Structure 1
Amino acid sequence: MVENRRQRMQALLAADRAARPASAVSLACGRCVVELSVTGAGATVLAEMPTGNGDGDGRPSRGLVHATNPVSAGLEDLQLTVGEGPCLDAFASGGPVLVADLATEVARWPAFTPAACKLGAAAVFSFPLLIGVARLGSLDLYRDTIGPLTRVELADALILSDLATQGVVDDLNGHSVDDVSWLADPHVQIHQAVGMVQVQLVTTTEVALMRLRGYAFTHDIPLAEVAQQVVDRSLRFTDTEDGIHAQ
């Protein structure tokens, strides 16, 4: 039964590619929207950002591989900005995160939930992209109405997440899983900005990222935009007697 469904999905993706040449990840995300009755889908590569002391316990950094619509892209960016959400939980746990009614999860994700609902997400479903025990990222789905995935939809989502994983592996060809800077994505600038803020504040990578996130959240602007300002040198973080602030 499962093998038959996998073969069906592979056949559908092959037909999709014949009709519209694209990456396997992009096609898997598009197929999720068609098969799973979701509004949007995104896939990301995640890598643990070191804290500066080499212990590898930093928060995950992210490179966006694909998003089917602006809301999906916005949800990915939001999670990177506030440092919480289903994608990060799926990556940390290695298991799916299924939320049929996002509005009920304010206590779980106090920063992510209200903003995600405002973007238009009513339900979210995240699946880790795994090769054995190695975690590569996540496949993230959302609906603009509440409601769970059906049993069949869940089975298909697991199959599509596995096929998306193979697509990520293909895209990673020749690159380290721990380095997402090669991705053609605005988040690449975030890595550059983190390095600049780290030098400006003489601090760790983790603290520099936290300061960038805090500034983005406080001023209600995308983290990528803050990073752009830092890279352009129109925004600089300084350590003063009143605390760390941007000027």
Structure 2
Amino acid sequence: MDQDRRARLRELLIADRDGESASTVALVCGRCVKELSITGAGATVLSHLGIGSGSADHPSRGLVHATNPTSAGLEDLQLTVGEGPCLDAFASGGPVLVPDLAAEGARWPAFTPGALALGAAAVFSFPLQVGVARLGSLDLYRGSPGSLSRSEMSDALILTDMATHGISDELAGHHTADMSWLLDPHVEVYQAAGMAQVQLETTTETALLRLRGYAFAHDLPLAEVARRVVTRRLRFTQEEDWS
């Protein structure tokens, strides 16, 4: 039965590609929206920052594709607050299925209010992995509460596998820490973290925490804070005034 479902989804992706220049990952995300009764989908890769000899091995995400602004916003929110279903899926190596996000306030106290404000009522994240090597996650959200059906769950796992192969193809020729191939504003975050690390004379992990703290305190996307640092409109000091 799974082979039949896989063959059907493969044929649909081939049809989706006809006349389109979109990547496999983009096609998979679009097909998720059509097949799984969800509102939006996104795929990200996860790498590790290692700027400087004293830096911590801190995870950082890069957006590969999002089907709509809310999907992109959910990824940015998780990068800002450092918690959420995508990060949990990557850490655990298993799906994170949350049919009612409003009930998860204690689990993700910083992520949940912002995600609800963006319009996500249910979230489902699946790790993209080859064997034991995890590459990122396929992230789905729904605008109303509700679980994935059994057949939708089967299709989600198959589409996750297809997205994994797409990510593997995209990563070919790149070091695992190289995200320069991503058309993603999050790449600027990594550059800003390195600059803030030098300004604060601290580790990359602490610099990222300062970036996130500033974004949270000023209700700004982390990408915007990074842009201000990179363009030298914002400089961090040991005792910066955030008023």
In structure 1, the partner of 2:40 is 40
C-alpha deviation, 1:62, in angstroms: 1.0
In structure 1, the partner of 2:129 is 130
In structure 2, the partner of 1:26 is 26
Greater than 6 Å deviation, 4+ residue runs: none
User: Any idea what SS the aligned residue of 1:184 has?
Assistant: coil
- CA distance in structure 2 between the partners assigned to 1:93 and 1:245 by the alignment: 38
Q: TM-score, normalised by structure 2?
A: 0.96
Bigger Cα displacement from structure 2, 13-22 vs 35-44 = 13-22
Q: Contact between 1:42 and 1:68, CA under 8 Å: does it hold in 2?
A: yes
In structure 1, the partner of 2:9 is 9
Q: Which amino acid aligns with 1:156?
A: D
How many aligned positions are there?
A: 243
User: Any idea what SS the aligned residue of 1:237 has?
Assistant: coil
User: Any idea what SS the aligned residue of 2:11 has?
Assistant: helix
- CA distance in structure 2 between the partners assigned to 1:87 and 1:153 by the alignment: 19
Q: Which amino acid aligns with 2:131?
A: G
* 1:123-162 → structure 2 map (5 Å cutoff): 123-162=122-161
Deviations 1:20-42 (A, max 9, x none): 23100000000000000000000
- State percent identity of aligned pairs: 69
- CA distance in structure 2 between the partners assigned to 1:181 and 1:217 by the alignment: 26
In structure 1, the partner of 2:68 is 69
C-alpha deviation, 1:176, in angstroms: 1.5
C-alpha deviation, 1:52, in angstroms: 5.5
C-alpha deviation, 1:220, in angstroms: 0.5
Q: Which amino acid aligns with 1:22?
A: A
Provide the aligned C-alpha RMSD in A: 1.6
Deviations 1:178-235 (A, max 9, x none): 2223312111111110000000000000000110001001110100000000011010
Q: TM-score, normalised by structure 1?
A: 0.94
C-alpha deviation, 1:56, in angstroms: 6.1
* 1:1-247 → structure 2 map (5 Å cutoff): 1-50=1-50, 57-58=57-58, 60-240=59-239, 244-245=240-241
Unaligned runs of 5+ in 2: none
- CA distance in structure 1 between the partners assigned to 2:51 and 2:106 by the alignment: 27
Q: Which amino acid aligns with 2:105?
A: V
- CA distance in structure 2 between the partners assigned to 1:148 and 1:185 by the alignment: 30
- Measured at CA, do residues 188 and 55 of structure 1 come closer, stay the same or move farther in structure 2, by a change above 3 Å? closer
Unaligned runs of 5+ in 1: none
- CA distance in structure 1 between the partners assigned to 2:50 and 2:108 by the alignment: 23
- CA distance in structure 1 between the partners assigned to 2:233 and 2:132 by the alignment: 42
Q: Contact between 2:55 and 2:203, CA under 8 Å: does it hold in 1?
A: no
Deviations 1:35-90 (A, max 9, x none): 000000000011133486678642x2011100000000000000000000000000
- CA distance in structure 2 between the partners assigned to 1:56 and 1:134 by the alignment: 20
